[in-house]
Each structure stands twice: as structure tokens, then as C-alpha cells.
Amino acid sequence: MTRARPNGIVHVPRRFVAEEWGGTETVILELARQQQRAGSQPLILTSMALASCHAEKIGGVPVRRFSYSYPFLGLSRADRAALDRKGGNLLSLSLFCSLLTTSNVRLFHAHTLKRVGGAVRTAARLRRKPFVVSLHGGVFDVPAAESEELLKPIANKPEWGRLFGALLGSRRVLEDADQVICVGQSELDKAKAQLPHDRVAYLPNGVDCAKFATGDGAAFRHQHQIPSAAFLVLNISRLDRQKNQLLLLEAFARFRAQNPLAFLLLIGPETQPDYATQLREFISANQLGGCVRILPGLRNDDPNLVNAFHACDVFVLPSRHEPFGIVVLEAWSAGRPVIVNRVGGLQTLVRHGENGLFIHPTGDASADALAAQLGCVAASPSLGQRLGAAGRTEAESRYDWSRIARQLEQLYQAAEAHAAQRCGRNGA
């Protein structure tokens, strides 16, 4: 009797919770949903970081979480919280054991590197299974200043986890992967130049165009006491130095001096609380409290996420670096014009003057340039409508999740072919 071919796809992010949602979580969930529709059985295995329960379903996809630690001496509670929110190199032996024992595995898909990525790598090799890695946050295209910021909580802290990293091959995850996936063209170019193999591919993020096509912007404005006549500028992203909301605030202060009906809304979880404090101090010092509001991050299934896009007049993403920028696709799907920093994957996602507007990432004039671009959109409603319509067409024609999932399946098959060469037939 022929044994059925495994159809389980195991996604492994560093953390995965509905209350601390971001672009990576959206990508994993939407791909998993597409895989369910295609007859596969996706499963998300992750750590308990920021979570309150060990098992649940999010959007119909099963999620299992495991205990973990940060193998450094002298970490404070604040240090651990900072590592949970962003970049923490955690160790979870129970997660590794689950990777070794979970049944019906066709392929492992790691969405992180370091020790968790090493656990995926080692489990895949021991089980003779293919594994792929997606670079969501950037690896080769991250500014040095941001890398240093991530390391602050563990600076000068003795590390006792190096042995585990070595045993798991955490430094060889990308070299040993059967396929490396980059969400941005800039990251792809640098990965190809630095990795010792050619198993590197570009796969953009996607968007549920239908989900974002309609929303109640008027109700959202009423709920949050935003005047209907206000020119609303929106940013949805983590409150984080990478996302560069301080530049947006500086530009908005200049813009509002000429546009007294302007209003700014920042929505997102606080992954760097000290930076969020800096933003609030700027708002207070510049007497912007009446026209700038900061809201917590919204769950992916919260209708207000869609409504927020429909409430705004322009969406701004001024990131210092950005591998892709999935929120741009969401704004486009809602027909909204976007202004973005010309960095990372945004450089190829947006075409200046056609489906969005650019500002340049460096220089003392950046805030003035962004204020000027806001002024252009505010002064010309037809410009905003044209850019938003072009963005919607772009999202619908190139970035629908069903299209992205089909491309991912092709990469999975390429990974399986390489794994077959590497280790013979797949294990049980």
C-alpha cells in the first residue's frame, strides 16, 4: 500500500501573537491560509514570547507555543521585554523537540534566523526534510545603527548559550537552506552577492485586496474624534526607530503650520518604549497634542484596521530601512496615496509620481521634503486620487495573496528538489 505523501508545512517564526501584530505575522498567516485552501496542513510553531497561551487558532491556522529563555546572565525584566518585542535571540529546547517529533511534515519554513533558525535547520537535516528561510526583517540590508540598537539589551551580558548555537548550526542557516527567500529586491541583490550558493529568490509580500477595498472611514473618524474636514495623515507601523515616526512628526509640524486642519494618526505597538516616549515628548513640546494621536496596534482581524486606511487622506511610511513595506499594499488596496522613504524594498515597490511619492532617507532637509510632499497631496486632491488608483491597480494585478502563494509553492518544489539531491529521499 502506498503511503500518503506528507502535506504539513511547518512555519516557524520567533514569536506570533495577535496582540502584537506586524507585517511578518500578516505574511505568515495569509500564506498559511492560502496553503489550507490548496489542501495543505500548515502549522505555526513558535515561542511563548508575548503570549499568554500555549495553543490556539489564529485566523483558522493552528499555533503552538513553547517555553524559552534568553541565554544571557544579568538580564533585567526590561531587557527581556525588549528582546521579546524585537530581535531577541531566544533558546527553546521544547520547540526544537517539537520540530523533531511533529508528524506529517512535508517542509519546514523558518521565518527567523539565529538559534530558532538553527533549530529548524538541524531538525530538517536530522529528519531529512527540506527547509526554506524567509528574510522578513532584512539581514544583508540593515543599517549598522539598527543592528547596534538591537544588541543594547544584551550589551556586556555574559552569554551561556553559545554552545547551543554552535550545536544547532545557527550561523549556517542561510548557507544550508534549501531555499532563501527575500521580500525585497535590494535584499536579494546583497544576499546573492554574499551567500555561497544560488538558492536565493525574490518573493514579494502580498495583500488581501478584497479585504481592504471597502471600509468605513467616516465611522473611524467619528470614533476617534477626528474632524471630517481634517486632512488626515496616517502611519501604521511599530513605534520603533526603524520606522522613523520622529521624522514624520517633524515634517507634520511644518506642514500643519500651513494647513491648520491637518491631523496625524500613528497606530502601532510600542516595540521600543523609550522611542515612543521620545515621540510623545516631541508632541508635547511642539504643542501638537490636539492634532496628533497615537493608538495601540490593531489586530489583523480588527475592522478598524481597514477603516483607518479609508479614513486617511494620505499614508506615510518614512522608515530608515524597509525590506518590503506590506502596509503600502494595504493602503493601495484602499485606494490611498502613499509617501515613502526611498530605502530598501520600497525603492522598487513604489514608482515616484506614478503610484506614490518618494522622499530621500538622509540629509537635514528630509523633514522639509516630506512636509512639501504632504503639501502637494493636500493641495491637489486629483493627485491623491490618481496615485491611489494606480496603487490599487498595482496591488490587484501583482500582489494578491493567491498569486504570491502560487509562486511560493514553486520555491517549495525547488527546495524539495535540492533536498533530494542533498540527502536522498525524504524521511518519514
Residue 128 lies in a domain: yes
The tally of domains found in the chain comes to 2
* Whether residue 165 is found in the same domain as residue 306: no
* Residue 183 belongs to domain with CATH number: 3.40.50.2000
For position 427, what pLDDT does the model report?
43
Percent of residues in the chain assigned helix, strand, coil, to nearest 5? 45, 20, 35
For 254, the grid coordinates are 511644518
Residue 3 lies in a domain: no
* Whether residue 38 is found in the same domain as residue 132: yes
CA 145 to chain centre: 19
Q: How many whole angstroms separate alpha carbon 49 and alpha carbon 83?
A: 9
Kind and range of the H or E run holding 263: strand 262-267
For 204, the grid coordinates are 514579494
Residue 302 lies in a domain: yes
Residues 6+ apart with CB under 8 A from 286: 249, 253
* Whether residue 377 is found in the same domain as residue 412: no
Residue 336 lies in a domain: yes
Residue 321 lies in a domain: yes
* Whether residue 183 is found in the same domain as residue 288: no
Residue 1 lies in a domain: no
Q: How many whole angstroms separate alpha carbon 289 and alpha carbon 276?
A: 14
* Whether residue 224 is found in the same domain as residue 178: no
For position 86, what pLDDT does the model report?
86
Residue 428 lies in a domain: no
* Whether residue 225 is found in the same domain as residue 316: yes
Q: How many whole angstroms separate alpha carbon 59 and alpha carbon 64?
A: 14
Q: Phi/psi at 257 (nearest 5 deg)?
A: -60, -25
* Whether residue 257 is found in the same domain as residue 139: no
Quote the domain boundaries for residue 65: 8-206+400-423
Q: How many whole angstroms separate alpha carbon 286 and alpha carbon 11?
A: 45
* Whether residue 234 is found in the same domain as residue 276: yes
Q: What does the pLDDT profile of the chain (428 residues) look like in tens digits?
A: 556 789 999 999 999 999 888 889 999 999 999 999 999 999 999 999 999 999 999 999 999 999 999 999 999 999 999 899 888 999 999 999 999 999 999 999 999 999 999 999 999 999 999 999 999 976 876 766 666 777 778 888 888 889 999 999 999 999 999 999 999 888 899 999 999 999 999 999 999 999 999 999 999 999 999 999 999 999 999 999 999 999 999 999 999 999 999 999 999 999 899 999 999 999 999 999 999 999 999 988 899 999 999 999 999 999 998 889 999 999 999 999 999 999 988 998 999 999 999 998 665 568 999 999 999 999 999 999 999 999 999 999 999 999 999 999 999 999 999 999 987 654 44
Residue closest to 114 by CA, chosen among 168, 179, 176, 180: 168
For position 157, what pLDDT does the model report?
86
Residue indicated by cell numbers 520603533? 240
* Whether residue 27 is found in the same domain as residue 136: yes
* Whether residue 241 is found in the same domain as residue 106: no
**8 A C-beta contact, residue 4 and residue 39:** no
* Whether residue 189 is found in the same domain as residue 249: no
pTM check: above 0.85 = yes
For position 361, what pLDDT does the model report?
67
Centre a 10 Å sphere on the Cβ of residue 55 and count the other Cβ atoms it contains. 8
Residue 2 lies in a domain: no
* Whether residue 411 is found in the same domain as residue 379: no
